[in-house]
Chain A
Amino acid sequence: MALSKRKRAEYFRYSQYTLLVVVALVIAFLADWEQIRTAFFNFKTMGDMFPNVITIALKNTLIYTALGFAFGLALGLVLALMKLSSIAPYRWIATIYIEFFRGIPALLVFIGLAFGVPLAFQIQFDIYSTVMLALGIVGAAYMAETIRAGIQAVPKGQVEAARSLGMSQGRAMITIVIPQAFRIILPPLTNELILLTKDSSLIYIIGLARDQYELTKFGRETLSRSPSLTPILVVGLCYLIITLPLGYLSRYLERRSGGKKVSVL
């Protein structure tokens, strides 16, 4: 007798579970656990990495990301306003900036900023300024589009109401539109922050002193003196300490805003 459609679907599901269990068991039996342990879980190396991985590397990653995000947000807001400006050259400049910095690898921007700019303009930034500029310049290109979309998502009636009460265009933008826009784009902005956290791993290229190491550089440095890949595992987990809560926050904010989606170009 032929099986009903629902019965078939049910058996199909069971067979999937069975397959997964079998694969897991095969891997568990075949894997050389001792080898894996020495490759990734060298407890002595782990011990040696503390507390510097937290007090220097994790701390610096947080500081660099925060600096870059703050500068990127400010510059991104300016670019978003330029992009929405009635003055055409402002729009062109913003568009060129955004397309340029979104279109080239962040690593190239960092190299240019760390070595090209001091050479060309005879100015030397300290490490924090360089990092802030490097991450901010790249972050701004992405955030500008998000902010622009947020500003455009604020209903037109809000501006009309503000103008009818005598607010100027700029006053209405600052007091009414931008606060609402940021509420709308909080979830995507949190995602930008996650991306920036990971991008901060690229700033090793500008050359860092030992107490300036961020997580990735710290991990690679420890790796060079380590018999195993343990440092990479440890700093990887440190990134997750930052990014997982942010990801959760982003999804929470999105749920709270009722899933109101903003179209980001």
Chain B
Amino acid sequence: MSEISVEITGLKKSFGSLDVLKGIDVTVNRGDVVCIIGPSGSGKSTLLRCVNLLEEPNGGKIVVNGVELTDHDVDIDRERTKIGMVFQSFNLFSHLNVLANLTVAQRKVLKRGEKEAQEIALRNLDRVGLKEKANAMPAQLSGGQQQRVAIARALSMDPDVMLFDEPTSALDPELVGDVLGVMRQLADEGMTMLVVTHEMQFAREVADKVIFMDGGYIVEEGPAAEVIGNPQEARTQEFLARVLDPTHHGPSDPA
């Protein structure tokens, strides 16, 4: 029986009259990699953003490492330091160089000393293969490098779990591999990861569990080989057919 890292029950989220999440239950075991796939607008990014309360849920419960984040008495800022997040658009702090990007939250939030923060930052830059870019500004880096720096920034807070929100969707195709390589390495090291992605190959090879979402619900979930390799639900089959073989598929909605 493995320890539970993230437990989401009955999660509901709406924007105005638009219901985006209509009751989601997800359990992530410690050390597991869970990939969330699904068409755009299915609510998968919103689900991920609810996990660290970047989006405030309208209903349901989110428990991360035994702390209920949806409890209003919880110090959410403190809990967020243990939940790393990587964004589609990198979001490196554009006025700070790479090293400062990695140290600023360590220093201001975790109150680490400058020397300690820099050591941790450099160690994590090394992990993503960018130690020599410590003094570069974000704008001087390629998209793939920026995303690896963003991963190192999140890792510098020593998180228990990492959230990835379509981390390779904004990258040129030839840069995707570097970022996925770093993520794969993290998974191998035993990091608990919740990944929203369109990279089916990555999900198939790395994920312990794949969740397929559509229309605000979880349609199908299970081991990667089953959900991606042998989907049971019609909607999952339809989606995967489009993603895996886009050229042999007509438009679904002949308007």
Partner pick for A180 among B54, B81, B85, B95, CB 8 A cutoff: B95
**Out of B81, B87, B95, which one reaches A166, CB within 8 Å?**
B81
- Contact check, B80 vs A158: say whether CB atoms are below 8 A apart: no
Q: Is the CB of B87 within 8 A of A165?
A: no
Residues of B near A113 (CB, < 8 A) are none
28 contacts between A and B (CB under 8 A): A157-B87, A158-B91, A158-B94, A161-B85, A161-B87, A161-B93, A161-B150, A162-B93, A162-B105, A163-B80, A164-B80, A164-B84, A164-B154, A165-B81, A166-B77, A166-B80, A166-B81, A166-B109, A166-B110, A167-B77, A167-B105, A167-B108, A171-B108, A171-B109, A175-B104, A176-B95, A180-B94, A180-B95
Q: How far is the CA of A166 from the CA of B54 in the complex (A)?
A: 11
The answer to whether B91 and A166 have CB atoms under 8 Å apart is no
A160 to B83, CA, bound (A): 13
Whether a CB of chain A sits under 8 angstroms from the CB of B115 is: no
Q: Which residues of A contact B110 (CB under 8 A)?
A: 166
Return the chain A residue nearest B105 by Cβ: A165
Assuming the A-B contacts A175-B104, A175-B108, are A168 and B77 also in contact, with contact meaning beta carbons closer than 8 angstroms in the complex? Answer: yes
Contact B93 A166 (CB under 8 A): no
Chain B residue numbers with a CB within 8 Å of A171 are 108-109
Question: A220 vs B91: C-alpha distance in the bound complex, in angstroms?
Answer: 55
**B65 at interface by CB-CB < 8 Å:** no
Q: Complex: how many Å from CA A171 to CA B83?
A: 18
Contacts A171-B109, A175-B104, A183-B95: A166 and B157 contacting too (C-beta < 8 A)?
yes
Chain A hits for B44, CB < 8 A = none
**Binary interface encoding of chain B residues 157-173 relative to chain A, with 1 for a CB under 8 A from any of its CBs, else 0:** 10000000000000000
List B contacts of A179 (CB < 8 A): 95
- Please judge, given known A-B contacts A171-B108, A175-B104, A175-B108, whether A164 and B83 are in contact too, CB under 8 Å: yes
Whether, in the assembled complex, B118 has its beta carbon less than 8 Å from a beta carbon of chain A, the answer is no
State A183–B137 Cα separation when bound (angstroms): 15
Please, which residues of chain B bring their CB within 8 A of the CB of A167? 77, 105, 108-109
Interface residues of A (CB under 8 A from B): 155, 157-158, 160-168, 171, 175-176, 179-180, 183
Task: Report how far A157 CA is from B80 CA in the complex, Å.
Answer: 16
B95 touches A165 (CB 8 A): no
- What chain B residues lie within 8 Å of A168 (beta carbons)? 77
The A/B interface has a contact count, at CB < 8 Å, of 61
Give chain A residues whose Cβ lies under 8 Å from the Cβ of B92.
161
Q: Which of B84, B91, B108, B157 contacts A160 (CB 8 A)?
A: B91
Report yes or no: A165 in contact with B153, Cβ–Cβ below 8 A.
yes
Bound CA span A166–B105, Å: 7
Residue B147 at the chain A interface, CB threshold 8 Å: no
Chain B residues numbered 163-221 whose CB sits less than 8 Å from any CB in chain A: none
The CA of A166 and the CA of B93, in the complex, are separated in Å by 15
The verdict on A176 contacting B54 (CB below 8 Å), with A164-B85, A165-B157, A167-B109 known, is no
Closest to A182 in B: B95
Instruction: Tell me whether B95 and A161 are in contact (CB under 8 A).
Output: no
Does B89 reach chain A (CB closer than 8 Å)?
Answer: yes
**CB proximity to A under 8 Å, residues B90-131:** 91-95, 104-105, 108-110
B52 in the interface (beta carbon within 8 A):
yes
Q: Which 4 A/B pairs are nearest by Cβ-Cβ distance?
A: A166-B81, A165-B105, A161-B91, A164-B85
Instruction: Chain B residues near A163: list those with CB within 8 A.
Output: 54, 77, 80
Q: Write the nearest CB–CB distance from B164 to chain A, whole angstroms.
A: 12
* A residues in contact with B85, CB < 8 Å: 161, 164
B91 near A157: Cβ-Cβ < 8 Å: yes
Contact of B249 with A by CB under 8 A: no
The residues of A that contact B94 with a CB separation of less than 8 Å are 158, 180
Task: Chain B residues near A162: list those with CB within 8 A.
Answer: 93, 105
Task: Flag whether B78 is at the interface (Cβ < 8 A).
Answer: yes
Name the A residues within 8 Å of B91 (CB-CB). Answer: 155, 157-158, 160-161
Q: How far is the CA of A175 from the CA of B94 in the complex (A)?
A: 12
Q: A162-B105, A163-B80 known; 18 other A-B pairs, CB under 8 Å?
A: A155-B89, A155-B91, A157-B87, A160-B91, A161-B85, A163-B54, A163-B77, A164-B83, A164-B85, A165-B81, A166-B110, A166-B157, A167-B77, A167-B109, A171-B108, A176-B93, A176-B104, A183-B95
Q: Within the assembled complex, what's the spacing in Å between the Cα atoms of A155 and B105?
A: 18
CB pair A166 B104 closer than 8 Å: no
In the complex, residue of chain A having the shortest beta-carbon distance to the beta carbon of B153: A165
Assembled-state Cα–Cα distance A163/B84 (Å):
11
